[in-house]
Amino acid sequence: MNQEKVLVIEDDKNICHIIALYLKKRNYSVECCHDGLEAYRKFKSNRYDVIVLDLMLPGLDGYSLCNKVREDSSTPIIMLTAKGTLEEKVKGLNLGADDYLTKPFDMHELIARIEAILRRRKMDYQEVKIKHSNRLTYDNLVFDVDSFIIYLNEQIIDVPRREAQLLQYLMQHPNQVLKRNELIENIWGWDFEGEDRVIDLYVKRLRKRLKTAQKQNWSIKTVWGIGYKFEVNRIV
């Protein structure tokens, strides 16, 4: 069973350490950051199930970081603050935070809120799975075309729109070699701004987002000198 991954962003190293200890005891994988800019770099290069975010941070404050995360991700965010005024809470929630805790707080309450958020995410997945039949499914990878949501190992993953559109087209054409210019023309049209080599960047990012330790029957293959192929050993 995969561990759920939590990014804790807190400038107080003692608080960060205590949060990490409690979460690890509950079998979560935890990474800690004490600086807003460092945290944003970690977020951009990794996938997390929940973010615990303090407001008062060096480098990049919690509000700004929350806003940047929400530009291309729906990863749940729990904000931490020492003040806890109504104005602060409203601002944080309007920026996209999912929950709010005022310091000092009980660690058991923080864990309960994290678990509640993860339960809701899993329930959302199950509801979408039941309601929508227009899905592209290959082993542990599911692309719900109606809701434009991507699932890997039954977990929602955050994929920017253009990368998601590319993945959808590849999944709709399994085991077919597709040229870069063909992908651009059929997905975005000839008014697409950019070189055809941007496809290479999108594929690189997709591979990173879709990386899993589990063995799977699909992969995005490079066909050297031509383009790419969504290779499937057994079509589901």
* Domains, the chain, ordered by start: 5-126 (3.40.50.2300), 135-232 (1.10.10.10)
Please answer whether residues 148 and 142 qualify as being in contact, where contact means their C-beta atoms are separated by less than 8 angstroms. Answer: no
Flag the least confident range among 38-52, 55-69, 116-130: 116-130
Q: What integer is the mean pLDDT of 155-166? A: 87
| Location of structure tokens 């975010």 | 53
Is the bond leading into 58 cis (omega within 30 degrees of zero)? no
How much is the pLDDT for 185? 85
**Start-to-end Cα distance in the chain:** 23
For the chain, percent of residues with pLDDT exceeding 70: 87
Q: Is the pLDDT of residue 53 over 90?
A: yes
Say how many residues make up the chain. 236
pTM of the model: 0.56
| pLDDT > 50? residue 24 | yes
**What tokens appear for 87 in the block?**
């104005």
Closest among 233, 153, 167 to 202, alpha carbons compared: 167
Q: What is the pLDDT of residues 205-216, one digit of tens each?
A: 899 889 875 678
